[in-house]
Amino acid sequence: MKHLAAIGQYFLMVREVFKKPTKWRIMKTLILKEIDELVYGSLGIIIFIAFFIGGVVTIQTALNLTSPLIPKSLIGFAARQSVILEFAPTFTSVIMVGKVGSYITSSIGTMRVTEQIDALEVMGVNSLNYLVFPKIIAMLFYPFAVAIAMYVGVLGGWVAAVFGNYAPSGDFIEGLQLDFIPFHISYAFIKTYVFSFVIATVPAYHGFYMKGGALEVGKASTTAFVWTSVAIIILNYVLTQLLLGQ
């Protein structure tokens, strides 16, 4: 019952986020600040992880394709499918939960502890709209970061294949083009948009409704990371079944 009550409270929070909006003059500044902190500030770690994940997938695929009858182009095919379908949208999102989600929970939780949220409400400001809405809008730009992760992941695979002598450049690129289905890109971005909303709201929920002092802020960040990751994994399964299942 405790978890059901929390889920209900979460959806009530989401509804309140879109009520009584803050003045656009103020909101615009908040949104730009959140874009810089949540998305632009995460590009470095996203690019770094995507490059080496693409390389590792390529190496593991090449080491398992030991038969001379199997064309080397399948290495590029496997790298493309793995990076686009799963590693770029899903694995990157879990990393973002650790970086962005923890920041959201701790920043809002600290405001709760120091009674800044109470001060906003006393002034007649919709604190949920003021604190959470800019984060939701900022995370709408997160798919651009995932698109970069796709490109860099494939590039990392190409570098590993060519410079590791696992596959010639021509064969790897041929594999990238083999049986390409454009909808797979759409599928990845649909997942990313859903994940971005979860990353913006679930940690915000744990920060906004936390109770206690400074010690509980850290506990709330850990709890937010766990439940946001669980939500992403479950939604990943559901969306894959809905969008790709026959």
Domains of the chain, residue spans: 23-240
- Give the separation between CA 168 and CA 177, rounded to whole angstroms: 15
What pLDDT, on a 0 to 100 scale, did the predictor assign at position 168? 85
Per-residue pLDDT of the chain (246 residues; tens, 9 = 90+): 677 888 888 888 888 888 888 888 888 898 999 899 888 888 999 999 999 999 998 998 888 877 777 788 888 888 888 899 888 889 889 988 988 988 899 888 888 888 888 888 888 888 888 888 999 999 999 999 999 999 999 999 999 988 888 888 888 888 888 888 889 899 999 999 999 999 999 999 988 888 877 778 888 888 889 999 999 999 999 999 998 875
Q: 163 Cβ partners below 8 Å, 6+ apart?
A: none
- Give the separation between CA 87 and CA 80, rounded to whole angstroms: 10
What pLDDT, on a 0 to 100 scale, did the predictor assign at position 171? 85
For 176, the token pair is 């990238």
Q: 103 Cβ partners below 8 Å, 6+ apart?
A: 37, 38
Radius of gyration of the chain, Cα coordinates, nearest whole angstrom: 21
Q: 61 Cβ partners below 8 Å, 6+ apart?
A: 74, 75, 78, 79
- Give the separation between CA 92 and CA 95, rounded to whole angstroms: 5
- Give the separation between CA 172 and CA 8, rounded to whole angstroms: 49
Could you tell me what percentage of the chain is helix, strand and coil, using 3-state DSSP and rounding each to the nearest 5? Answer: 85, 0, 15
- Give the separation between CA 161 and CA 163, rounded to whole angstroms: 6
What pLDDT, on a 0 to 100 scale, did the predictor assign at position 191? 93
Structural contact between residues 50 and 88, judged by C-beta atoms closer than 8 angstroms? yes
What pLDDT, on a 0 to 100 scale, did the predictor assign at position 154? 92
Structural contact between residues 44 and 236, judged by C-beta atoms closer than 8 angstroms? no
Q: Tally Cβ neighbours within 10 Å of residue 169.
A: 12
Q: What predicted TM-score, i.e. pTM, was given to this entire model?
A: 0.88
For 44, the token pair is 């470095």
- Give the separation between CA 150 and CA 156, rounded to whole angstroms: 10
Unique residue bearing structure tokens 């500044």: 29
What pLDDT, on a 0 to 100 scale, did the predictor assign at position 122? 85
